[in-house]
Amino acid sequence: MARALKILDSADVSNTGLLALAPVAISTTAARKLNFFNLSRTALGEILSKEFGLPAFRSTQIFQWVYRKGITDFALMSDLGAELREKLALCFEFPKAEIATRQISSDGTRKYVFKLSDGKLVEAVMIKQPTRMTLCVSSQVGCGMGCKFCRTATMGFVRHLSAGEIMAQVVGVIDDAKEFGDSFSNIVFMGMGEPLHNYKGVLETLHILTDHHGLAISQRKITVSTSGLVPAIRDFGTHKAPANLAISLNATTDEIRSRIMPLNDRFPLAELMAAAKDYTTVSGKEVTLEYVMLSGLNDSAADLSRLVKLVNGLPSKVNLIPYNDNAGLGFQTPAKAWVMEWRNKLVSKGINATVRWSKGQDINAACGQLVTESARQKKTVSAERRPSAGVVR
């Protein structure tokens, strides 16, 4: 027991480098314990080796219990010795995020608001699609990127989520989905926050999600979406991050892009597209370009021609996203026929193009609509009485 407590001493944790492995825990209890959900299997193995002298296969066993069997009580991990189980229980906790609210859309999409240990709220969405469910998770509380068409931007940046807090959304939704008899096959980092701004937390999460002894989610089924943080895009490729990359493009000129995405002033289109190209070269993957269509602003015939040129030679696909009408943000949704004309024109030019029609609009779970209720009440005017929630990228 003394040994178990020793590794939890903050000075020791710092000296042994464990601090980096143990970011903010979600739970308000047992503050001296390590949040298991923050740890990759490699990180867990290092702790078990250093502190208990255990071989690597122990971390594999524990990962399988937690992520494959859903067991988070060490006492039930029957292939571990009784003494070890007691020690582990003193060292680790499994802080699940509390589901503050759950709303179900008429189209089957479910929106969750999770309450974190500090009372902050983040949203995750189970998006119902014809052949699958996709889980959309948040990576930050609020967002500092300031995209003008996005409700989350109205919150401003509050803080990053730790890997454990992102995993808590995943585990929380998995648990809740049992009630519906479904599960997700794909995960997208398109909830609240700019994922590549929280680069460390997101990368750690990706390694946990894809661990073949854990949830074993294929990296082909995970997509991280960025508003265009060029240095992080380059790092994402260099690190061979286990996920697909999507870039929220949304304009074909710097003038319009800077107007709707202030980040474009720092990383203009030419730099962004060069980074996208380099990413595809380094990673060997294609990149998805997301294009939120804002009627009369970025959806002209000239925009379409420029988009074709921008995409030319880039291993990519284009995802057109008709803007979700959010009260008070001042943009308009394009006509469905015009969206389809864009899509068909792109396809006729040999570009892989799809349209992402909104899901969960009646519960504010659609793209660009995510903002926690408390923030909405503070930041929106009383005229806003329709549903909303969200993320747009």
β partners of residue 113: 101, 123
Q: Could you say whether residue 194 binds ligand SF4 (CB under 6 A)? A: yes
- If one asks whether residue 152 binds ligand SF4 (CB under 6 A), the answer comes out as yes
The residue type found at 183 is S
Residue 371 interacting with ligand SF4 (CB under 6 A): no
Contact 222, 266 (CB under 8 A): no
Residue type, position 136, single letter: C
Active-site option among 46, 51, 93, 123 = 123
Q: Residue 278: enclosing H or E segment and its boundaries?
A: helix 269-283
- In the residue annotation, 51 being an active-site residue is answered as no
How far is 66 from 89, CA to CA, in rounded Å?
A: 13
Give whichever of 146 and 242 is closer to ligand SF4, judged by the CB atom.
146
Indicate the residue among 145 and 318 with the shorter CB distance to ligand SF4.
145
Radius of gyration of the chain (CA): 22
Shortest spacing between CB 159 and ligand SF4, in angstroms? 14
Judged by CB, which is closer to ligand SF4: 121, or 147?
147
Choices 10-18, 36-44, 92-100, 192-200 (CB under 6 A): range interacting with ligand SF4: 192-200
- Contacts (CB under 6 A) with ligand SF4, residues 224-253: 227
Cβ proximity to ligand SF4, 158 vs 208, nearer residue: 158
Q: For residue 5, give both structure tokens.
A: 């407590």
Q: Is 153 in the site for ligand SF4 (CB under 6 A)?
A: yes
Q: Does residue 143 bind ligand SF4 (CB under 6 A)?
A: yes
**∠173-177-179 over CA atoms, to 5°?**
135
* Region from 26-34, 39-47, 147-155, 293-301 binding ligand SF4, contact rule CB under 6 A: 147-155
CB-wise, 59 or 361, nearer to ligand SF4? Answer: 361
Q: How far apart are CA 301 and CA 123, in angstroms?
A: 36
**Can you tell me which of 147, 275, 304, 311 binds ligand SF4, judged by CB under 6 A?**
147
142 forms beta bridges with 157
Name, in order, each residue with C-beta under 8 angstroms of 294's C-beta and a sequence gap of 6 or more.
Answer: 149, 250, 260, 323, 331, 332, 334
Q: Estimate to the nearest angstrom the gap between the alpha carbon of 292 and the chain centroid.
A: 18
Among 82-90, 189-197, 212-220, 297-305, which window interacts with ligand SF4 (CB under 6 A)?
A: 189-197
- Three-state DSSP class for residue 334: coil
143 in active site: no
Give the residue numbers marked as catalytic: 123, 367
Residues that bind ligand SF4 (CB under 6 A): 143, 145-147, 150, 152-153, 192-194, 227, 391-393
